[in-house]
């Protein structure tokens, strides 16, 4: 399966899978039974064996979590990043390695980050400090620790190798929490790590941006940038391909890892909001349905599904029940066969606390 991907709402972001492959190799050497873990996250050994195949970012994150648990290694991502060959980053690595200065490394790292991982958008920071801020897209940030700690460790290794200096960041911030005593990452970085931060950041003092790259090659860099821009353009064009979206959504779920749109397309789509994976799952399904021109209706949860249908390209029918009305402070109104979405904060749902107590059941 060669995963193609889309940049539209609901796409499934993919990655080149370096850390997923490193983790499986390490786990296999430690005697971990990989097949059940791969099945649980929707990947196959064949996909990981082919380095040309991209993997869904969400599956990569979940795989790292499961392998870390199997190995009882709470710092798996950090440990995997310490010794692997940085050239495994492929085109992305060589764009950075042929740049002229460290500032260009960060700038181009932000520009071409989707070549490596579409689920993590890197923003170039160039002010009082220099570096990257990270924003997750299409995947849940709260699920990820190992992938991001792998990347920050790898990023510092790249900076040190390309400049020939034992650099230390001025600030490293991670939004996930760590229990006291996890000092290994901080020791490697050479600075304190702020866990539970408002956003993920990897920053140097501004002056570090002028450090020259030891093997800078402007001619090679110009050529690699052209190739990278062409690759980004292909990714954008893929967003209009229905077949690609179907492959992204379905192939990881099939044992043979292949899917044909003509074999699995339906006439109508009616997802259940809870079972499809909430808002994220709905938006993924909506993108596929919209690209195929398939009418999409809701199943249950009308108060919340109504909001999502408003942003669904091929919205069809809202399935309505008044089951929740007895415990809602202000039930949604009906008018001429339509459900009226109230102009209230959030989903517009507020509980009738008295009714909740009255109907409450402690089993």
Question: Does residue 135 sit in the same domain as residue 279?
Answer: no
Find the radius of gyration of the CA atoms of the chain.
Answer: 23
- pLDDT for res 31: 96
Question: Does residue 101 sit in the same domain as residue 199?
Answer: yes
- pLDDT for res 61: 95
Within-domain flag for 3: no
Are 100 and 92 spatial neighbours (Cβ–Cβ below 8 Å)? Answer: no
- pLDDT for res 292: 65
Other residues' Cβ atoms within 10 Å of the Cβ of residue 285: 22
Question: Does residue 298 sit in the same domain as residue 216?
Answer: no
Question: Does residue 126 sit in the same domain as residue 230?
Answer: yes
Are 167 and 160 spatial neighbours (Cβ–Cβ below 8 Å)? Answer: yes
- pLDDT for res 217: 94
Q: Nearest Cα to 174, choosing from 150, 209, 138, 205?
A: 150
Paired tokens of 139 = 């995947």
Distances from the Cα of 299 to the Cα of 110, 118, 303, 330, angstroms: 40, 30, 11, 22
Question: Does residue 215 sit in the same domain as residue 353?
Answer: no
Within-domain flag for 60: no
> What domain range includes position 305?
266-359
Are 107 and 221 spatial neighbours (Cβ–Cβ below 8 Å)? Answer: no
Are 23 and 266 spatial neighbours (Cβ–Cβ below 8 Å)? Answer: no
Region label for 259, one of left (φ > 0), alpha (ψ between -120 and 50) or beta (otherwise): beta
Q: Provide the CB-side half-sphere exposure for 12 (13 A, CA).
A: 24
> What is 276-292 written as a DSSP string?
TTHHHHHHHHHHHHHHH
> What is 88-138 written as a DSSP string?
GGHHHHHHHHT-SBHHHHHHHHHHTGGGTBTTEEEEEEESSEEEEEEEE-S
- pLDDT for res 261: 47
User: Where does 120-243 show beta strands of DSSP type E?
Assistant: 120-126, 129-136, 171-174, 193-195, 200-205
pTM of the model: 0.65
Question: Does residue 213 sit in the same domain as residue 83?
Answer: yes
236, 256, 283 - which closes a domain: 236
∠ CA 35-40-46, rounded to 5°? 45
Within-domain flag for 117: yes
CATH of the domain at 343: 3.20.20.120
Paired tokens of 287 = 């993108």
Within-domain flag for 43: no
Paired tokens of 361 = 């059941």
Domain count, the chain: 2
Question: Does residue 146 sit in the same domain as residue 216?
Answer: yes
| Residue-by-residue pLDDT tens, the chain, 363 positions | 223 332 333 347 899 999 999 999 999 999 999 999 999 999 999 999 999 899 999 999 999 999 999 999 999 999 999 999 999 999 999 999 999 999 999 999 999 998 899 988 899 999 899 999 998 887 888 889 999 999 999 999 999 999 999 999 999 999 998 876 678 999 999 999 999 898 899 999 999 999 999 999 999 999 999 999 998 887 766 544 444 444 445 445 555 445 454 444 556 678 888 888 888 888 888 887 776 667 888 888 888 888 888 778 777 888 877 788 788 888 877 777 777 877 788 777 888 888 888 877 775
Question: Does residue 227 sit in the same domain as residue 100?
Answer: yes
∠ CA 200-204-205, rounded to 5°? 135
Q: Determine phi and psi for 267, rounding to 5 degrees.
A: -85, -35
Question: Does residue 142 sit in the same domain as residue 85?
Answer: yes
Are 91 and 116 spatial neighbours (Cβ–Cβ below 8 Å)? Answer: no
Are 118 and 248 spatial neighbours (Cβ–Cβ below 8 Å)? Answer: no
Other residues' Cβ atoms within 10 Å of the Cβ of residue 150: 24
183, 214, 236 - which closes a domain: 236
- pLDDT for res 348: 79
Tokens 């229905």, located at residue: 242
188, 221, 236 - which closes a domain: 236
Kindly give the interhelix angle for 90-97 and 102-111, rounded to the nearest 10 degrees. 150
Q: How far apart are CA 315 and CA 75, in angstroms?
A: 44
């Amino acid at each position: 399966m060669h995963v193609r991907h889309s940049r539209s709402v609901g796409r499934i972001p993919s990655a080149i899978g370096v850390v997923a492959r490193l983790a499986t190799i390490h786990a296999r050497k430690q005697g971990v039974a990989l097949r059940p873990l791969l099945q649980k996250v929707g990947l196959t050994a064949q996909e990981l064996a082919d380095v040309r195949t991209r993997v869904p970012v969400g599956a990569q994150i979940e795989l790292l979590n499961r392998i870390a648990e199997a190995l009882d290694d709470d710092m798996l991502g950090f440990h995997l990043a310490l010794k692997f060959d940085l050239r495994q980053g492929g085109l992305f690595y060589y764009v950075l390695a042929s740049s002229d200065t460290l500032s260009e490394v960060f700038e181009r790292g932000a520009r071409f980050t989707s070549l490596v991982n579409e689920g993590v958008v890197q923003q170039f920071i160039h002010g009082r400090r220099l570096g990257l801020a990270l924003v997750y897209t299409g995947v849940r940030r709260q699920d990820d620790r190992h992938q991001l700690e792998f990347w920050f460790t790898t990023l510092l290794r790249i900076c040190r190798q390309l400049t020939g200096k034992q650099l230390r960041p001025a600030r490293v911030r991670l939004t996930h929490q760590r229990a006291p005593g996890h000092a290994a990452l901080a020791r490697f970085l050479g600075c304190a790590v702020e866990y539970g931060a408002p956003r993920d950041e990897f920053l140097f003092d501004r002056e570090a941006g002028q450090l020259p790259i030891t093997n800078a090659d402007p001619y090679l860099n110009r050529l690699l940038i052209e190739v990278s821009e062409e690759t980004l353009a292909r990714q954008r064009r893929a967003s209009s391909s229905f077949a690609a979206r179907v492959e992204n959504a379905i192939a990881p779920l099939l044992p043979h890892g292949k899917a044909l749109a003509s074999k699995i397309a339906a006439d109508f789509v009616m997802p259940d909001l809870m079972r499809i994976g909430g808002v994220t799952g709905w938006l993924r399904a909506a993108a596929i349905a919209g690209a195929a021109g398939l009418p999409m209706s809701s199943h249950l949860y009308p108060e919340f599904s109504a909001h999502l249908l408003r942003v669904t390209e091929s919205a069809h029918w809202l399935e309505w029940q008044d089951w929740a009305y007895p415990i809602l402070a202000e039930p949604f109104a009906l008018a001429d066969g339509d459900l009226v979405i109230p102009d209230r904060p959030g989903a517009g749902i507020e509980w009738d606390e008295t009714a909740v107590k009255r109907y409450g059941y402690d089993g």
